[in-house]
Amino acid sequence: MSWFGKIVGGTLGLFVGGPIGAIGGAALGHYVFDRGGDQAGGSFAGERIGGGQQGFSSREQAQATYFVALFSMLGKLAKADGTVSRAEGEAFKNMVRQMPLSHEQREFAINVFNEAKRSPYSIEDFARQFQQITAGRPEIHTQMVDMLYQLAAVDQHLHEQEEAAIRSVSRILGLNDRQVDGIKAKYFDAAGSHYEVLGIPASSSDDEVRKAYRELARKYHPDTVVSKGLPEEFVDFAHTRFKEIQSAYEAVKRERNMS
């Protein structure tokens, strides 16, 4: 049974309170209510999420946390400029439809998004708890920032408030400016440097280029990222990141005539 099946099946010991637990519980309540109250494992729409982690492996806990934290932060990001426009709402739904999620997971994701955007929590509140739960998993943190920029790019314009929110989340998750610039360049800078993708300056030596590539290829291989807590439903995003690293390295090699 997947992490999602365990949540819907009534195993609610996953979350340990905080904003992620609160939003996950509220979204789950709506999900269950929409399906008749008890068909998904009991009438627990108002039950408080907290306590232990019975029935979940650490990997499943990280995957479920990533899912709720992602759509919570996307909800707050969409409202970063004060309101969520109809276009932004539709863009989010289209983004969710393109993800390899089941119909039930898409419904849950939309519920999380809606609960988070009208909640009193800030995007930083979600980022801090996510960082605490996924400490030591920098690849997952990078993937999260990538997804935030992807949503911000749906209207082809990065609003000042969106940029500030993503930079704030990035600092909390421990990404440096060069890493963030490399992610941002994918969506907002057609001339984004291959060196930015590799996270190194253009003045780096050939050996430094090779070292950076080997480290990134190891960290961002899809199997590695999934094993560290990225939900398997998002493996395509991890694979895209891996291909970007490979393409950037090949481009730098051609430019330098590296063997």
pLDDT at 15: 56
Name 31's Cβ contacts closer than 8 Å, sequence gap at least 6.
8, 40, 104, 107, 108, 111
Q: What is the pLDDT of residues 184-199, one digit of tens each?
A: 887 886 545 788 888 8
pLDDT at 40: 41
pLDDT at 153 over 60: yes
pLDDT at 235: 74
DSSP character at residue 187: H
pLDDT at 31: 66
Which of 118, 111, 7 has the alpha carbon at shortest distance from 64? 7
At residue 208 the predicted structure's pLDDT band, cuts being 50, 70 and 90, is very high
Which of 67, 52, 173 has the alpha carbon at shortest distance from 116? 67
Cα–Cα distance, 28 to 30 (Å, whole number): 5
Q: What is the pLDDT of residues 76-126, one digit of tens each?
A: 998 887 777 777 777 788 878 877 788 888 889 999 999 999 999 999 999
HSE toward the beta carbon, residue 77, CA cutoff 13 A? 33
Are 185 and 193 contacting, i.e. CB atoms less than 8 angstroms apart?
yes
Which of 147, 104, 105 has the alpha carbon at shortest distance from 126? 147
| Residue-range domain boundaries for the chain | 3-256
pLDDT at 49 over 80: no
Segment 60-64 shows an average pLDDT of 79
pLDDT at 19 over 60: yes
